[in-house]
Structure 1
């Protein structure tokens, strides 16, 4: 097995490959004919290996900036040394090929180093969002049973780790040497490199196992359609619980571009992200549809985003109206990506035409190494133009679900039509093919929904409400779309306001913030259809917000009432939460960055003065924001 040595000693190396690397100023010596696979790919093909592909790119361009965090630049050489050192620490701690390693870190260069080191060690990383409730985190750790957890001293206190869950602290992993050997593991192409958890209908998240081949296939397809080069910079801001973060980290590093790391916790601030993109010269951006909408809403209409050359979006339906608004403010191309996590990042793409702007937004056709079938309920291809369920095959398919053999068999089915390599994934999405050959997304076959790109099984919310929140019955529904999407849960729950408070606490302790309903409504009984099933159409009507009249822009609404009353009224509308108290926290009451933008815009219209997102973020209570704004109103 080849060894690649980091250090200044190159006396053992005489190959042309080694001379090339020495000229690039990286102190690397290649032993045991490692130059063979490095230059000719005879030993470990880089095309299907994340570790080898990343090593090649960073080693060939050691002085190129790979990461920028808070203005600090990390070169390819420095990143590689840190990754290989941590890789060795992982192996010294018992990590072996095929092991899972949980990464529990804030978004940072250390997070990037950690996930790369796991892959270099031959393992698969399970990146866990530090914003998830501790109980959910512990449940995922118990389910994935990692060899160890990579975290830091502050975050480790949340884990409650015991003998079965050893922890490796990043503070103890500073590079001890720049001459540590790295030995790539053979035959990893079809082994897991990434584990991604998504919402599960049974009340517990489920994990997809994603192979090296699947990730590299997707990144190579993306590179062929949206080529990145040394002059490109891409911001990493997406939560690690969403598989699109793989695009933001791996794609730039594999093809010589620079990753700009957004400060942890500031993804709520559109002004910060826009300033970061401007100051760091970001050229390529991925963001979910709702975040794209948020960027445009948070900035005046005369603010343009022409520094971008390409924007990728997806995760939710993209409206023609949003496409037109974006194209009016940026010269960048806009591409709509579609694909479930089980198919690794995306499997179709459609670049939105600019002239004329589209009246209908499609999801495109199959990307490279991908097979698509549109089938009816009996598994037969539908006629051209007819709707049906989308089945997906090809190199991007996940290996299956971790510890869920029955669910794996249910969703990953044999390819009885041929051409996909043996399996097809039942997406549960309804589509139809347009005359152009592109697909139109029609909706879901089941009850799964998406909010701001996150896949949510409504059954997980309902199960949690019953199992842990004391509800006798529960039914969740979603209304609106894009930035206006919100969850409402109807519950049969005796006990009045105190019981609702206990239920809300239980949901917040066990579900990530995007899955906690903005509104909890008690009912004596859930409505039923004539067939005895829950009438979800009626619940959706009950949950729909009342039509709001536009607020006056001359401050007259605030003139007749106190500032706190005005803020309470606006927040109540935005959050669909009447009865807010003066000390209630906007975000704890169901607010997020998208609702915050709406609240700020409505307050500006009512009060007649500018209100910034930063003021709301720093003063998230009614009394706090009233005091802040009151100083300006006199």
Structure 2
């Protein structure tokens, strides 16, 4: 009994429990046209099997240790013949090529002949990888042709005797490598080299996928292809000569640069096969001589492509200089965290196709070699590079590119886009190799058009007016229509208009003029709306204050905003440093006893400041977002509000929160009605009862409140036409529950920071529409709004690639009041807009999906690096929160003895109590295995 070579041992252990996918089968097809002698073909098959011991070797298990057992000559596989129409040959061949081997008992070669019983035949040879490699197929096919020729002519094949057989190589390999325990052995020296070369290697690439990595890979796969033309080929070849590299190295470097640009990271381990047939005695032998080395491509620092090529060249040469160490020995030594869902050390491979051989000659037959795919994929991605040259001159004629992809992770469209981008990038670097890789254009013209126009918001409706002027116009058209209802009290548009006029007059008498700021500290009420309108009619901007905020915080806000007047409904208020306090009460302003003339509004302009709303700052100091009338009006007249869903809107947010902008101005500036919630926070039953009692048609609920309603009483939302949620990532489980209990209600995920006037994008899930799988997108922009997902150079990233989200358009605030430095930092020039256009840097990570919807991925400043991987905790939070048993989720970083780790926390959904194992089950199928264990 003979030991296995190192490569055979690894394959044997991989196949020990079966290989149901036929992953390690290597098929080749021969299209034969003419009069085929089947008996001669069967005899030739036996001749070839006798010639190569590897083709008649089985690999039994001897007490847990595999051994090679070479069968006696005559152990050839049967030639299986199937008579069927020629049109079926290809499909039948693909099916047969995927049938697994039992390497312990079955010889590692099969032969199938599909024939139409006339002159159309397809011969399929399937070699198990444990017995051979790609080069072995060439040897096998040409030996078979020689044997067939001899048999047809009535003789025996006249081969030169093989100097060695594969078992000799296996024994020789052990001798050359030596004992790993001997520090002077080749095995030990190369092991030391690789241990240093691969120190700190990322466990897994970060390339975005269409689906989370499964816990166990299915190895289902497919192939897409593309072609780089002769000009690109010639350019890469010339560049390679200049950099003392090969064209294949140039393609490897281009692939590494592309992967980096697509989000895979800058430390890229690429698997590369290497042929071990260095000795001439092995050239004509069938056997497994190929092994794999890891080429660590470094693209850090946004280098020029020439620098990337130099780095890849050096990495390839270094890997080849130390290629004697078997890959399985390297894996055993490094002992990376294992997972049945991915390949160890690398998941992306690059291979160069072998030089084309002449077609084999079968007498009396026209022969054409055909590739036969098994619909499998060993790795996440494998790029196969086929350089083509003019047979007469040797000039480059093009590069064939094939990308094998794991169907567990990628869709065919994604794989094809990736390969097409590689062709574009290769053309770009062939033209300008000195360009930094981040500057290389990856977008197709169609994608550029989608990102610039097709996926952006419709043009905003032109309304050169102010908030108060538009409200007054609505009041003049329908003075008797109810504008607001609060605790049984109704106020018409006419009444609200008159009340706000009187308050504006009082403000004018206190010296309020255009451009001033008026603070408002009131409970939710009709008077609050009137006070807000009154400040606007006086030409001022309103400054809503949070009644729950500490007085010192409110005083600091008032001072920074320069508010001289405070409108309040309280009997006593803390000293906020204002010159005047205007108290609103029912007995005065409500009945018109304190009359006056409203100020002249002729000077009002859409660019005038409408409000200043303070949000928390990262430094702990509140920052005031200054918003003009134009932005508020643009929000209110957006076309998405048409259709009646927002005729009766609930006002439940604190006045100082930006959701109140929607709750007040969308209904009031469109002739709708505001349902005013009682002061303070409402519990879920009270809120649900209020919405039902007042027949609310549209509302905005924070994600936390929406999730709680979905858990406790989702059916109470059935009276709503549309419920909007936002502020955090939407819970898919909560959305599903509401849709199940409220089939007639549209659920909308709304997104927008205060700096973009409440809403910048929405994703509406209308009744009957399918819900998204997994994460709920934030959708597409509002009218007049543009969403730009950009890289560090402020260039648009391709669809599917993560970048930072920037927002431009009509909803953009002026900036931060009194903070020019912060305004300049967050409101930056928009490279996609006209001169002077700005965009807001959100600090959020996002990506476009293929449907043109934006997916929110979390905060840029929450990214953490664990075991060499950059991870966004928010993405894992979305996965956990997406499970039906989970209400809310949080993920944070905790210290452990092995270094920082991620810890997930889940709040059970109503009626559920997830246990620790079930939480692990939630993450396992939906997150990369390096993230959750």
TM-score, normalization by structure 2: 0.43
Query: In the TM superposition, what is the alpha-carbon distance from 1:348 to its structure 2 partner?
Result: 1.0
> Any idea what the Cα deviations from partners look like across 1:428-454, whole Å, max 9, x if unmatched?
111111111111111111259xxxxxx
Aligned equivalent of 1:264: 679
**1:228–1:255 contact (8 Å) kept in structure 2:** no
Aligned equivalent of 1:368: 783
Aligned equivalent of 1:115: 532
**2:521–2:567 contact (8 Å) kept in structure 1:** yes
Q: 2:797 is paired with a residue of what secondary structure?
A: coil
| Cα gap change, 1:123 to 1:62, in 2 (>3 Å) | same
Consecutive unaligned residues in structure 1, runs of 5 or more: 1-44, 449-476, 491-525, 554-634
CA–CA separation in structure 2 for the residues paired with 1:392 and 1:373: 6
Q: 1:251 is paired with a residue of what secondary structure?
A: helix
| Cα gap change, 1:443 to 1:551, in 2 (>3 Å) | closer
CA–CA separation in structure 2 for the residues paired with 1:231 and 1:426: 30
Aligned equivalent of 1:139: 556
CA–CA separation in structure 2 for the residues paired with 1:305 and 1:549: 18
Q: 1:246 is paired with a residue of what secondary structure?
A: helix
Are 2:850 and 1:438 aligned?
Answer: no
Aligned equivalent of 2:709: 295
Q: Point out 4+ residue stretches in structure 1 off by more than 3 angstroms.
A: 45-48, 171-174, 177-182, 228-231, 477-488, 526-530, 544-553
Query: In the TM superposition, what is the alpha-carbon distance from 1:419 to its structure 2 partner?
Result: 4.2
| Cα gap change, 1:478 to 1:226, in 2 (>3 Å) | closer
CA–CA separation in structure 1 for the residues paired with 2:674 and 2:709: 20
Aligned equivalent of 1:307: 719
Query: In the TM superposition, what is the alpha-carbon distance from 1:314 to its structure 2 partner?
Result: 1.3
| Cα gap change, 1:111 to 1:483, in 2 (>3 Å) | farther
Larger Rg, first or second structure (1 or 2): 2
Aligned equivalent of 2:749: 336
Query: In the TM superposition, what is the alpha-carbon distance from 1:304 to its structure 2 partner?
Result: 4.3
CA RMSD of aligned residues (A): 3.3
Counterpart selection for 2:763 from 343, 346, 350: 350
Q: Within 5 A, what are the aligned runs for 1:494-505?
A: none
Q: 1:335 is paired with a residue of what secondary structure?
A: strand
> Any idea what the Cα deviations from partners look like across 1:316-357, whole Å, max 9, x if unmatched?
111222111110111111111111111111111111254432
Q: Within 5 A, what are the aligned runs for 1:223-238?
A: 224-227=639-642, 229=644, 232-238=647-653
Query: In the TM superposition, what is the alpha-carbon distance from 1:290 to its structure 2 partner?
Result: 1.4
CA–CA separation in structure 2 for the residues paired with 1:335 and 1:546: 24
Counterpart selection for 2:844 from 418, 429, 445: 429
CA–CA separation in structure 2 for the residues paired with 1:292 and 1:549: 12
Q: 2:741 is paired with a residue of what secondary structure?
A: coil
| Cα gap change, 1:381 to 1:110, in 2 (>3 Å) | same
Q: 1:389 is paired with a residue of what secondary structure?
A: strand
- Alignment length, in residue pairs? 429
| Cα gap change, 1:445 to 1:284, in 2 (>3 Å) | same
| Cα gap change, 1:420 to 1:352, in 2 (>3 Å) | farther
> Any idea what the Cα deviations from partners look like across 1:503-553, whole Å, max 9, x if unmatched?
xxxxxxxxxxxxxxxxxxxxxxx97999xxxx9x65x63xx5599999999
Q: Within 5 A, what are the aligned runs for 1:76-475?
A: 76-154=493-571, 156-157=572-573, 159-162=574-577, 164-171=578-585, 173-174=589-590, 175-176=592-593, 180-181=597-598, 183-221=600-638, 224-227=639-642, 229=644, 232-265=647-680, 267-299=681-713, 303-330=715-742, 331-352=744-765, 354-359=768-773, 360-419=775-834, 422-447=837-862
Aligned equivalent of 1:49: 466
CA–CA separation in structure 2 for the residues paired with 1:50 and 1:434: 36
Q: 1:308 is paired with a residue of what secondary structure?
A: coil
| Cα gap change, 1:365 to 1:486, in 2 (>3 Å) | closer
CA–CA separation in structure 2 for the residues paired with 1:549 and 1:93: 53
Query: In the TM superposition, what is the alpha-carbon distance from 1:311 to its structure 2 partner?
Result: 1.3
Aligned equivalent of 1:6: none
| Cα gap change, 1:128 to 1:479, in 2 (>3 Å) | farther
**1:207–1:402 contact (8 Å) kept in structure 2:** yes
CA–CA separation in structure 2 for the residues paired with 1:60 and 1:486: 50
Query: In the TM superposition, what is the alpha-carbon distance from 1:183 to its structure 2 partner?
Result: 2.4
CA–CA separation in structure 2 for the residues paired with 1:487 and 1:208: 30
